[in-house]
Structure 1
């Protein structure tokens, strides 16, 4: 085979490999990319209780007639949206108030494409009668959404009163959101003043006039279709957006559930990329640095591109032990003056932390503690000398401890000794030590033996306790 032909084969193979890598990356992006579903289901949970007969806003008009008129107009206007399915559940409209029927809730029109006329006809048939079983209705609404994936499930609750059947609306709503049945509900109160407490169940909106109801209902629906994007700028110590390659989590503020998880990315120009998020939800933003940084109740403008700036200046800690090439040595890392362990770092590993003071405790014998001041874009090195090896002979099995002896003669407990073997080995940092030991079958404490010794870095030593 000629050299020219060999070169052609090599080039061809490299080209094929390149194409495979590009194709694999493209497939991976398509498979793993997190998106807001294109299709949406909206369930109107509508109040048909007796209180809806009260006058409201306009002369000779009551709440039910005004709400019917506005809702039917909006349902009719949604007929051209092919990515939307609607359903209608009504409560409090079949049993009279005297019956106090707290299960008076019905899925009158289930989800189905092009069912707008059925919904409008059913809305126009409503004759308010009964009580207000909102919580039970919301529980039943969980069964109204078909189980197939690829949809955003939205509830728009329209009510003129609060729960009248003793249910815990907020707890029920949170539980159903955690299970992923639907996103944060919209709750539109018709003439309800001082009912902000319903915010714990969803996004509460007070519509004190018919005009406000029309505007807020339309706004709630439009917001579900508004493309909303976010860029996260992770700021360094100079307030420049240079930090990156950190996991960022968008958490549901109400449920605490993770909605989106991204590994932060900056392009060659240094710009962070944009991610699309669902504007229906309120978010807490968690930047998973060490330790993590949380920004509560992030304000996201619906239908716009949002830039969120979060300071996360970082530096490094590196742990090295003389003569050790592997990463088997571990160290516990805590924030200074705090007890929570934030990381277990290995030797010969450089790890990034937020700037600040930390306490690093090496899991050596004996343990060593270091206070480290992590500074922006700098690496703080912790160096340990190579250990030595001590072979102990205690004649027989028994009980004892090892102490490290300081220059002033004070001692610090290091570890208990193996009570199952008369000969054992310990790997220790260089220093001065004392072993205290009593043989298992000895006749009293007076037979306790001890021995002082020194150990140099890299030294191997034999200690006979009773010689």
Structure 2
């Protein structure tokens, strides 16, 4: 549903041409009321004649419209009333190219006869749209009455939209105002006169076919659209379907690049994949205009470093200040962007290091450095059960469990005091336990030998 003309920096750097998506095919299904009430007089003629002639006039204007297909479903035209037959709905002309003449001919031959099964017609309409990966499915309901068969057009319409089968339908009410009955079904147009009916048809088709563009402004702390290079996902607000993914781009003038062919019939949810992500929900774009969608996404950066020259692959769990949910894990030696705010870090070292209240500022790099670890080479007299404990005052805490089938291990430890407690697998008495205290300094290897 969205055609994006965004050029990736990687592609441009390789001299490749950007691949533009084909614009979608707009498929418009007209559901036409041919119930018995359409014989009623309405201004200059019968309702059926006025509605038929004006729809034919509209079809003539659509005949050569590119990327557009039309279809016609009619209800109330097959069985006379009474008795009431609520199964009276039929797809008369299916979707195809160059079928305007066939639709016009069928409209001219229709005679109103029966009742008004609107909910059933909407439900069956979902099967009128053949499978298509790049189509916009639109229903235009033209009626002079409300549901007469006990169905719920509102519930059917909501379900069709939720499933992503069709966009929000258009309803044109002929003769009197049915707004209270149809606003929950879709976008309602009141046509109490011939002039209003003609205008309503034009507005509906204009909204269905007009291209709409937009730009997403990622705002910094000062409200300026300077943030960029962030993945963004657009969702259909009603169905929750992913509509498009792209990386936000500033063009050569420093302005957010333009998104083409956003659908004015949809409501969008925008998720900006900053860290943490930012979401804006239920965005409507105005048809035929360039829309600006502002999103507050002020960012700074965070660099994690290990002191000294030891090469070790530490990572840190990053959380929002005071919260337990993990946002991400960041590797030491890397710089990553975060939204402006305060964060808590848990460094996955031995023992773990907690760094609280790390402040990330707009367009500023915050650096967190942890001490260089030392190395403990632990040698056991035999295979057995051994654990390394970190000592803080009188508090001992297990930080490492040695493997039972080895007699030597080398581990990186943060500076501090430690103890290793061991008993051979072959020993059956606690008195054979061995304890050894040792200290680790940054960048220094320490031998911890339990053999003597």
**Is contact 2:39-2:112 (8 Å) kept?**
no
Name the SS for the 1:291 alignment partner.
coil
What is the match of residue 6 of structure 2? none
Q: Does 1:36 align with 2:23?
A: yes
* Root mean square deviation of aligned Cα: 3.5
| Counterparts of 2:364 and 2:141, CA distance in 1 | 54
Cα drift, residue 109 of structure 1: 0.7
**Is contact 1:36-1:278 (8 Å) kept?**
no
**Is contact 1:326-1:347 (8 Å) kept?**
no
Alpha-carbon deviations, 1:78-135, whole Å to 9, x = none?
234344321112245434677776654321012233432332333340424245263x
| Counterparts of 1:398 and 1:409, CA distance in 2 | 26
What is the match of residue 123 of structure 1? 107
What is the match of residue 207 of structure 1? 190
1:337 to 318, 322, 326: 322
Q: Does 1:307 align with 2:300?
A: no
Cα drift, residue 239 of structure 1: 1.6
Q: Return closer, same or farther for 1:82/1:268 CA change in 2, 3 Å cut-off.
A: closer
Name the SS for the 1:25 alignment partner.
coil
Cα drift, residue 338 of structure 1: 2.5
Alpha-carbon deviations, 1:328-363, whole Å to 9, x = none?
322221212233322221111110111001112222
What is the match of residue 365 of structure 1? 350
1:81 to 65, 68, 74: 65
Name the SS for the 1:194 alignment partner.
helix
What is the match of residue 429 of structure 1? 414
Gaps of 5+ in 2: 1-10
1:385 to 364, 371, 376: 371
| Counterparts of 2:203 and 2:400, CA distance in 1 | 67
Q: Does 1:328 align with 2:313?
A: yes
TM alignment of 1:201-350, pairs within 5 A: 203-205=186-188, 207=190, 209-210=192-193, 213-276=197-260, 277-323=262-308, 328-350=313-335
**Is contact 1:43-1:86 (8 Å) kept?**
yes
**Is contact 2:137-2:167 (8 Å) kept?**
yes
Gaps of 5+ in 1: 1-20
Structure 2-normalised TM-score? 0.82
| Counterparts of 2:420 and 2:55, CA distance in 1 | 85
What is the match of residue 156 of structure 2? 169
What is the match of residue 6 of structure 1? none
Q: Which has the higher contact order (CA 8 A, sep 6+)?
A: 2
Structure 1-normalised TM-score? 0.79
**Is contact 1:92-1:133 (8 Å) kept?**
no
Deviates more, 1:249-258 or 1:326-335: 326-335
TM alignment of 1:62-77, pairs within 5 A: 67-77=51-61
TM alignment of 1:3-22, pairs within 5 A: none
Q: Return closer, same or farther for 1:116/1:401 CA change in 2, 3 Å cut-off.
A: same
Q: Return closer, same or farther for 1:130/1:420 CA change in 2, 3 Å cut-off.
A: farther
Name the SS for the 2:92 alignment partner.
strand
Could you say which structure has the higher helix fraction? 1
**Is contact 2:310-2:443 (8 Å) kept?**
no
